[in-house]
């Protein structure tokens, strides 16, 4: 929030109440023409200092951004967001979850609606735009979240997509 720093190569981030997590996946292995039954985003809470009952949702990003150079103010070098924190569709979102107020927990977002919206447009939208995760309630505390560079591979963000034929697992993760 209100930060011009770049966190794209960090193993973990301190997610404060007004911060937005930007997450993308390489979903090209999914292919086209599938019927999406569900899509789940799993993000690992390394350490939690958050108020009990704090809610969160994942939203469909509507603009490409650069992992290496995006911040609160810019989607990439010299390319400001239309709205600080990231450009997303407030109507295409996951159901709200309650964030854990204890450490070492998975946060599971049902992103079927935003994922399917991207998928029906283009696989490149999943790869290049992804999802914005934000807290719905304001708190003065934070959660430490594992990102794709985190040293414990099993605790990095995960995307699990179930299609009508069989479950497909997303590939590389971006943060």
What pLDDT score does 138 carry? 78
Q: Check residue 125 and give its pLDDT.
A: 86
At residue 12, the pLDDT reads 94
> If you count DSSP H runs as helices and E runs as strands, how many of each does the chain have, helices first?
2, 14
Instruction: Give the model confidence (pLDDT) of 4-14 as tens digits.
Output: 666 778 899 99
Q: Is the pLDDT at 82 greater than 70, yes or no?
A: yes
172, pLDDT greater than 90: no
Average pLDDT over residues 92-111: 96
Over pLDDT 70: what percentage of the chain?
Answer: 90
| pLDDT at 1 > cutoff 50 | no
Residue 174 has pLDDT above 70, yes or no: no
pTM: 0.89
Q: What is the pLDDT of residues 144-165, one digit of tens each?
A: 999 999 999 999 999 999 998 6
More confident residue, 34 or 172: 34
Give per-residue pLDDT as tens, 112-126.
999 999 999 888 888
3-state DSSP assignment of residue 38: strand
Q: Is the dihedral of CA 118, 132, 64, 29 positive or negative?
A: negative
134, 86 Cβ separation under 8 angstroms = no
What's the rounded Cα separation, in Å, for the pair 20 and 99? 14
Highest mean pLDDT among 21-30, 101-110, 117-126, 137-146: 101-110
Task: Tell me the two tokens of residue 19.
Answer: 């911060």
Residue 100, pLDDT score: 93
């Amino acid at each position: 929030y209100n930060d011009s720093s770049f966190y794209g190569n960090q193993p973990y981030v301190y997610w404060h109440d007004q911060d937005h997590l930007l997450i993308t996946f390489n979903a090209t292995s999914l292919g086209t023409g599938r019927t999406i039954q569900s899509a789940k985003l799993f993000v690992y809470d390394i350490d939690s200092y958050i108020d009990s009952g704090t809610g969160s949702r994942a939203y469909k990003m509507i603009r490409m951004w650069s992992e290496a150079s995006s911040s609160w103010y810019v989607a990439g070098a010299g390319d400001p967001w239309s709205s600080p924190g990231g450009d997303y569709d407030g109507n295409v979102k996951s159901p709200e979850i309650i964030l854990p107020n204890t450490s070492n927990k998975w946060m599971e977002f049902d992103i079927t609606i935003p994922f399917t919206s991207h998928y029906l447009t283009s696989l490149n939208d999943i790869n290049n735009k992804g999802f914005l995760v934000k807290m719905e309630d304001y708190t003065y505390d934070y959660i430490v979240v594992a990102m794709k560079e985190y040293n414990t591979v099993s605790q990095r963000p995960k995307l699990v997509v179930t299609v009508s034929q069989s479950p497909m697992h997303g590939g590389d993760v971006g943060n």
